[in-house]
Structure 1
Amino acid sequence: MTNTSNHSAKFLLLFLLFLPINTVWGQDMGESSWQIKGFVDTYHAIRSEKPSDLMSSRTRIRGEIGKSFGGSSFFVSFNATHNALLKERTGFELREAYLDHREEHWGFRLGRQLVIWGVADGVRIIDLVSPMDMTEFLAQDYDDIRMPVNALRFFVFNEKMKLELLAVPTFEGYKLPTDVGNPWSVLPKNTVQPLVWHEDGSHPKFRFSNMEYGGKLCFTLPGVDFSIAALHTWNKMPVITYRSSGIHMAVSPQYYRMGFFGGDISKPLGQFVLCGEAAFNVGKHFSYKPEAGVMEQKGFNTVNYLIGVDWYAPSEWTVMAQFSSESIFGYESHIAQPQHNSLLTINVSKKLLGSTLQLSNFTYFDLNHKGWFSRFTSSYALNDYIQLLAGYDWFGGNEGMFGVYKHNSEIWLKAKYSF
């Protein structure tokens, strides 16, 4: 940890010690509009096959502070993390910091914030504003995978309709694991030439022409919710290029403009909820196969859709299933992704012991490559403040995005204290 991180961590600890005193004082003085909360969690995972090495070991303090005054409020959240495996992830991180204002039929939110669009669970169709932190692939809570952005959102609404206009002036892409010491690294192993990650100058510059902008119109009607959306954005999952310099292979991320228009729908039917999403993507770029790496990049139009059903069954059972697929128009054989790429997700959970124990499994099936990622979780609420979790992440397949991690199956433990 750097000296700056050390000072930040010490300040944060003093701040957290002071929080209970400050909170009580504020309530005594009638300042109950302050909201101060957070949690401490620790997560550790070990590979389930030889060499049974450490896959993750991190401890985090999350603080969340909010204040309301009239029709306005502000919210700040931050992480102080110690990561024993990925040293560069140790330190202090400002997560969200925004001002929110609401009038009777309009409002805005300005600052660093999470932007969540769509109704899908763990799959991105129109949810393309906030990028993703893939440092540990999908072996994190999905709330931690989604990253905040600096944005201005303007809202106009009534009881049945809500219009959201969005502007994102600064670019942020996916956070990819490129350290060869990271077991989730996206770089290929056992290459003829050593790989060097080179991203200098690859990110879009901070200028008006590079701004992201779009909007979403939502309707809440009797028996159905639906929305339509459009976005002029960047493909935040970069195209990876490989260029040999003779002594090493330079690996670089490249980001390209794209756009989409689409929407989502959700309809309850008794114990069931039917949902769907669809997007027509314009000018989306894809990584090419290694042998075609020197070919000039160009964008393709695609259709991406999802259909799903949630069943909130008796005896506190929940079953959710989703099928999603993306099809590339004008497909060319050198594209690394199949022309029709399909994914199935199944989420099953059951609550026991007066809802204090929850057993669950969330599974992704890559139907093209017959690979999978399945997370088994047992979560026990010891009391209102302490939660104990244990689980197993199972990877399988020989190809595709899950097959590359087929030796990364892991056993993990987690504890969380909320305050």
Structure 2
Amino acid sequence: MKPVRYTGLTIAWWLVGTPVSAIDVQHSSLVELEAAYAYKTGSWQKQEIVWRPEWVTRFDSGARLTVIGEGRFDAKDKLDPGRPDQPFRAQNTETVFPSDHIDLELREFYLDHYAGDAFVRLGKQQIVWGQADGLRVLDVINPLSYREFILPDVEHRRIPLWSALTEIPLETWTAQLVWIPDATVTESTLPGATYSLIPDPFGEGRLQVNRPDSLADSDFGLKLSTFQRGWDLSLNYLYHTIDDPLIRIDASGQQVLADYNRSHLVGGTASKPFGDLTLRSEVGLESKNRFQDSLTGEIINTEVGSYVIGLDYSGFSDWFISAQFFQTYRFTGTHDNGSSKEQVTVLIRHDAMNNALILEALGIYDLNNKDSLIQLEAEYSVSTNVVLRAGADLFFGDQSGTFGQFQEASRLSTGFTFSF
């Protein structure tokens, strides 16, 4: 934890300047208790308590420091067993494991400040691009954690990175510049975990992650956004490491290799409300991604295009309905599967009892593998700081599919949240 703490304090001191005095410190905390039962295997998947404290400090210089932590105790220890190595994370982004059942993390640590009209945020943070819900086209600056696959909210699945963000107003446009000298990549749990995505043909300890160097392989991005004639528009460019690796099996060395490549991502978003209906769209083109043909073993370099079209409808009282179509296309195909992949999502939310009760259903269907995930959730606000929850995460389809592979991990969950 020391490198993280000292890096953050250096950033804060540099921005605020010395001498410094805090004029206001605010604290809030969220405590979540949740249990999940995998009914097909007849076993508890997790029984955990999560504490998320947040401190916001305002300085007399006008700067604001935000610190968000996360502490977790899981009695079952099946989602990320033991004290796992963290080959996907840069040193200053690592989680601390005091025991097999406890993990601690500095989730976010950033300082906000204005330099004239320019807004600056430095530190460990999440930077969100794009219009899509859950499906990533442009929202690829922060990698994801697959500790629970894609089941939690994306805000809790993103891995905050040490980075710098500057927003500069330009008449009717806003320019956002980002620099990310943190080479943490998407984190899959290791073999043996409930939702592991890594093959294990040689037994544990055979994974070699060739992660890029944080400083030498920094990511850089530019986003231009505007509001024109009712349209929210953005143009995006990012030079980055593709966070999802190329997985190769080295039979001679009995190793599983995870390799990464650099790419230029260009794209944009457009959204506009039409009465009760809102149209959302997002498109992106990666200059290079790599795939291995499972039939020939050939490594293929190709451009990859992706887009999402979404429609949101709120014309019914206390109801919200959203549908999305997602497609990704490889410009150079492989022999073992098609060049394109498609998914459809449908979200239905209903507010009842003066918004005290929220019922939600989310379905994701993979048109290629013909498998799906259905998430059901009910939330009841007992008071302003106590929320009860119950839900189900249900996987369907063939075990070779994106979702079907986790059929046995379908679960029922319950818990509550207390804030103070």
User: Does 2:144 correspond to 1:142?
Assistant: no
Partner of 1:386: 386
User: Aligned with 1:231: secondary structure?
Assistant: strand
Partner of 1:9: none
Superposed, 1:158-197 pairs within 5 Å as 160-180=172-192, 182-188=193-199, 193-194=202-203, 196-197=205-206
Contact 1:196 1:251 in 2 (8 A): no
Q: In the TM superposition, what whole-angstrom CA distance separates every residue of 1:137-168 from its partner, at most 9, and x where no partner exists?
A: 01222211111111111110167421001111
Equivalent residue for 2:213, pick from 186, 205, 222: 205
Letter aligned with residue 31 of structure 2:
V
Give percent identity, aligned residues only.
Answer: 25
User: What CA deviation, in whole Å up to 9, does each residue of 1:87-129 have, x standing for no partner?
Assistant: 4362221010011112552121111000100011011001110
Separation in 2, partners of 1:274, 1:280: 21
1:244 — aligned with what?
A: 251
Select 2:287's aligned residue among 261, 277, 282: 282
Structure 1 residues not aligned, in runs of 5+? 5-30
Normalising to structure 2: TM-score of the pair? 0.85
Q: In 2, distance between residues paired with 1:391 and 1:110?
A: 37
- Relative distance call for 1:52 and 1:325 in structure 2 (3 A) is same
CA contact (8 A) 1:178 1:197 kept: no
**Equivalents in 2 of 1:402, 1:382: separation in Å?**
34
Deviation at 1:206, TM superposition (A): 3.3
Aligned partner of residue 136 in structure 1, secondary structure:
coil
State how many pairs are aligned.
Answer: 379
Q: Deviations over 1:183-231 (max 9, x none)?
A: 2111347x5x53544225x1112343x1110110000234110100001
- Root-mean-square deviation (CA), in Å? 2.2
- Shift in Å, 1:56: 2.2
- Offset, 1:312: 1.4
Distance 2:147 2:157 in 1: 9
Find the partner of 1:73 among 34, 48, 64: 64
Give the CA deviation at 1:60.
Answer: 0.9
Q: 1:308 and 1:151, CA in 2 relative to 1: closer, same or farther beyond 3 A?
A: same
1:32, distance to aligned residue in structure 2 (A): 7.0
Q: Is the 8 A contact 2:332 2:339 kept in 1?
A: no
Please state whether the residue corresponding to 2:190 is helix, strand or coil: coil
- 1:390-405 aligned within 5 A: 390-398=390-398, 399-405=400-406
Counterpart of 1:404 in 2: which secondary structure?
Answer: helix
Q: What is the deviation of 1:54?
A: 1.8
2:12 alignment partner in structure 1:
none
The CA distance in 1 between the partners of 2:261 and 2:348, in whole Å, is 37
Contact 1:279 1:304 in 2 (8 A): yes
For 2:213, give the aligned amino acid: K
How far 1:350 sits from its partner (Å)? Answer: 0.3
Instruction: For 1:108 and 1:317, locate their aligned partners in 2 and report how far apart those are by CA, in whole Å.
Output: 38
C-alpha distance in 2 between matches for 1:328 and 1:244 = 27
What SS does the corresponding residue of 2:408 show, helix, strand or coil? coil
Q: 2:221 aligns with which of 200, 203, 214?
A: 214
Number of the residue aligned with 1:301: 303
Would you say the 8 A contact 1:195–1:250 is kept in 2? Answer: no
The letter for the 1-side match of 2:407 is K
Q: Deviations over 1:58-85 (max 9, x none)?
A: 2111011112234321111010111221
What letter matches 1:351 in structure 2?
D
Q: What corresponds to 2:16 in structure 1?
A: none
Partner residue in 2 for 1:13: none
TM-score normalised by length of structure 1: 0.85
Partner residue of 1:57 out of 47, 53, 66 = 47
Following the alignment from structure 2 to structure 1, what is the Cα–Cα distance between the partners of residues 352 and 159?
33
Q: Structure 1's 402 and 383: CA in aligned 2 closer, same or farther, altered over 3 A?
A: same
Unaligned runs of 5+ residues in structure 2 are 2-21, 84-96
Deviations 1:25-53 (A, max 9, x none): xxxxxx8742211200022111121x311
Q: Which residue of 2 aligns with 1:12?
A: none
Q: Distance in 2 between matches of 1:326 and 1:238?
A: 17
Change (3 A) 1:252 1:42: farther
1:378–1:390: 8 Å Cα contact kept in structure 2?
yes
> Structure 2: how far apart are the matches of 1:143 and 1:207?
25
Could you say if the C-alpha distance between residues 292 and 33 of structure 1 is closer, same or farther in structure 2, counting changes exceeding 3 Å?
farther
1:314-333 to structure 2, matched below 5 A, reads: 314-333=316-335
Q: Deviations over 1:333-388 (max 9, x none)?
A: 25xx6311001111101011111011101111101111101100011111000111
User: 8 Å contact 1:157–1:163 — kept in the other structure?
Assistant: yes
Are the counterparts in 2 of residues 46 and 53 from structure 1 also a CA contact under 8 Å? yes
Other structure's SS at 2:156 match: helix
Per the TM alignment, residue 292 of structure 1 is displaced from its structure 2 partner at its CA by: 4.2
Q: CA deviation at 1:286?
A: 2.7
What pairs up with 1:314-353 in 2 under 5 angstroms?
Answer: 314-334=316-336, 338-353=338-353
Q: Residue in 2 aligned with 1:313?
A: 315
Q: Secondary structure at the match of 1:35?
A: strand
CA-CA distance at 1:298 after TM superposition: 4.1
Counterpart code for 1:206: S
